[in-house]
Structure 1
Amino acid sequence: MNKFSNIDLDEEKLADQTLDYILKNQNTCLESSLFLKILDVRKDYDDLNNHIEFLKDRLSHLKFIVDYDTVEFKNTMQKYQVLALDDQGRTFDNSEVLTPPKFQKERFSKEIFWANEDEERAFQKISTFNCFEDKIVNEKKFYGVMINAPFYNVKGWILYYQALLDLKFPEFSEKIVSGKTIIKYKPFKNKYFLGIETDYQSCKSNFRRGWWEEPEYKLIIFEKIDSKKIHRTVTFEKFVHPHFDPPVFSFMGFYGFMTTRRINEREIVLGEDGTKKESLGDGAIRIYNTEQYSDDFKRHAYFYYDMLYRTTREYLNFIDESFVP
């Protein structure tokens, strides 16, 4: 135990708890998360109760790194790999062939998830924003501007992420805003509080480059000094369950799968991403998006936050048991 951190993180204990969680939740919408890293998508495991030793081995490669008041983790679990020969007989990593069946697993999990009418109603209530914004530029600048396409509605997406965090983590009901940093928190132990912290700056930067990525959240244990100031006792550099990182397809991975296609082992081509242009006359061009993927993107983000909650709920229990005030 690191005496500076007030926390003793037992990797074996988390592995045991995660194993119980997996066995209880197999054949639910969680299942697609298991096939991202833990299970081999090429195999049919049937009842996971028959694969206990295998699962124990897969969950045995996690290490927490505690440096004073900061916690990071490293998971050295071996990735599933597919090797193939190119047309010149050279071996190359063809593991991306595993992505489509993983995507199909997630699609099936989403079908189970969206069969819940309460989730559908909640989604419809908070997802009314436009995903993209129009750009009006001089035609001479068209190709330079298109480097950053599509043009996301940055404010709309950030407000959506905040609404999803409020919806899926309602127990973190209090909020501290200090500059650009937002902390959603709840009482923890004694004088301590547990908070989810972000500034959304990485999201804003990525959106402006035409990249769609999930927010970077940290988990912090802290003391309150006043309404705006806190003293951080422990900072977890990533707010995600170490065995479910990420809990579903990353946003960039999902976007890439939806908008690109591979024509051979060497070439990937961009597909139809909905970005169009319209001449306005006098050298002006309107660049806009047809919103053809907007519902898929919004639903994927909603599903991501739900799965983040389901998996980190177990992780938060582990942290609760590991922290000594």
Structure 2
Amino acid sequence: MNLDENFRLKLQRTLRDNISYLQNKSIDLVNNIDNESKKNVLSRVSDEYNPYRISQERAIHNINTSIESGDQPILKLRNDDWARFRENEIEFKVIKKPTPPLHSKEELQLRVESEDFLYDCFNSYWLDTERNNRYAQVSDFLCFQDLEFPKDELFKIQNKGNIYNVESWIKYIADLVEMNFSEFKFDKKKSNRIVRFLKPLNENFEFGFEYDLTALKSQIKNNGIQLPDYFNIIVINKMFDSKAKIKSHIFNYNDNIISLGILGNPFFYPPCRSLYSFSIVDLYHYGKFYPDNIDPKRVREYKFINEENMKIVHSDEYGEKLKKYAFFYMDLLGYSSKSYLDYLEKCILEAF
């Protein structure tokens, strides 16, 4: 059997036939959130402006209303690379809270409350001893590289911003994937510049997700610290040739590999602010007080070693916070997306 049009038609049917499975599992997640640190995932489906007033009842109501509002999900080709379920291969339209006008008093208040709420969840998360122990198992690396350079290159180095320890971050991200998605194993034979984590479905096909390793390295080196834009869910023939054209299955149909898009429950994705966004917000976040004009925190210094050479020295405190936030994000992603992965696996197996 191939992942051809006949399979896609069957999959479209099973996605809709089993929508109540995802609905019930998502509602179970809402009902079982009793830990302050995980409440941030509800902010995606809640329609409250103030995140501190998130209501589990309203979240459940919005899940039910989204499911009952029309025929969904829709299986289609992706139009672009945006990490939104409205643009996804499996398109979901989820009720979202209205946003206030940009730069309005209400928009500023929402931004302040959302950031404060995220920090409260993040800080609460690290009160747990077991989480700290798990973090210690994978986080023993330096976030930044303290580079030495000739003093006449200072302007160029300053423009580069923070210099991240790219290879250590790449390993850390892979470790976090393995920790939070332990059902899926790294498949070296089916990976090249695209890294794939897979599990068997039957004798012919595997189910899992992928991310572009080369693009991720370039983004961290040139644009700042980040996770993949999204982990891309796939079904793949065990005979798939890893030398196939990169990403040809994202915007086109392929009988040996099918892209199903964003790894994340459509009701809870993203589970919190992205790592890249957090790395910027944290430079300006000084707690509850939010003045109109503030200077960013100093997270690196440029020091003379001798008359001719200098050294960039990064903040260890800031680096530690970035590593902890990546851990936090990936834990919430694994927690909130399990029901969606189970739903997809059920639908795929029924489509064969």
Q: Deviations over 1:252-304 (max 9, x none)?
A: 2211221026642xx5x551241100113343221120212122111111111
1:31 matched to 2:39? The reply is yes
CA contact (8 A) 1:59 1:77 kept: no
Instruction: State the Cα distance separating 1:251 from its structure 2 match.
Output: 0.7
Match of 1:121 in 2: 133
Match of 1:88 in 2: none
Q: Deviations over 1:120-168 (max 9, x none)?
A: 1111121010000122333333223222211111111111001111111
RMSD between superposed Cα atoms in Å: 3.2
Separation of aligned partners in 2, 1:46 and 1:134: 42
Match of 2:215 in 1: 202
Instruction: State the Cα distance separating 1:237 from its structure 2 match.
Output: 2.5
1:223 matched to 2:241? The reply is no
Separation of aligned partners in 2, 1:43 and 1:105: 7
Separation of aligned partners in 2, 1:56 and 1:226: 39
CA contact (8 A) 1:33 1:106 kept: no
Match of 1:73 in 2: 91
1:256 matched to 2:280? The reply is yes
Q: Deviations over 1:20-54 (max 9, x none)?
A: 32123255533111124534252665763477435
Instruction: Provide the secondary structure at the position in 2 that maps to 1:281.
Output: coil
Separation of aligned partners in 2, 1:78 and 1:160: 33
1:127-276 correspondence to structure 2 within 5 Å? 127-177=139-189, 178-215=191-228, 216-225=230-239, 232-260=256-284, 263-264=291-292, 269-276=294-301
Sequence identity percentage: 17
For structure 2, list consecutive stretches of 5 or more residues without a partner in the other structure: 79-87, 245-254
Q: Deviations over 1:182-211 (max 9, x none)?
A: 211111245221122123233222222242
Match of 1:18 in 2: 26
Aligned amino acid, residue 67 of structure 1? K
Aligned amino acid, residue 31 of structure 2? L
1:7 matched to 2:11? The reply is yes
1:283 matched to 2:308? The reply is yes
* Structure 1 residues 71 and 97: CA distance shift in structure 2, 3 A: same
More strand by share: 1
TM-score, with normalisation over the residues of structure 1? 0.82
Separation of aligned partners in 2, 1:40 and 1:237: 28
More helix by share: 2
Separation of aligned partners in 2, 1:174 and 1:98: 40
Match of 2:322 in 1: 297
Instruction: Provide the secondary structure at the position in 2 that maps to 1:7.
Output: helix
CA contact (8 A) 2:192 2:242 kept: no
Separation of aligned partners in 2, 1:94 and 1:139: 47
* Counterpart among 67, 82, 85 of residue 100 in structure 2: 82
Match of 2:340 in 1: 315
Separation of aligned partners in 2, 1:119 and 1:102: 24
Separation of aligned partners in 1, 2:31 and 2:55: 9
Moved more, 118-127 or 93-102: 93-102
Instruction: Provide the secondary structure at the position in 2 that maps to 1:184.
Output: strand
CA contact (8 A) 1:171 1:186 kept: yes
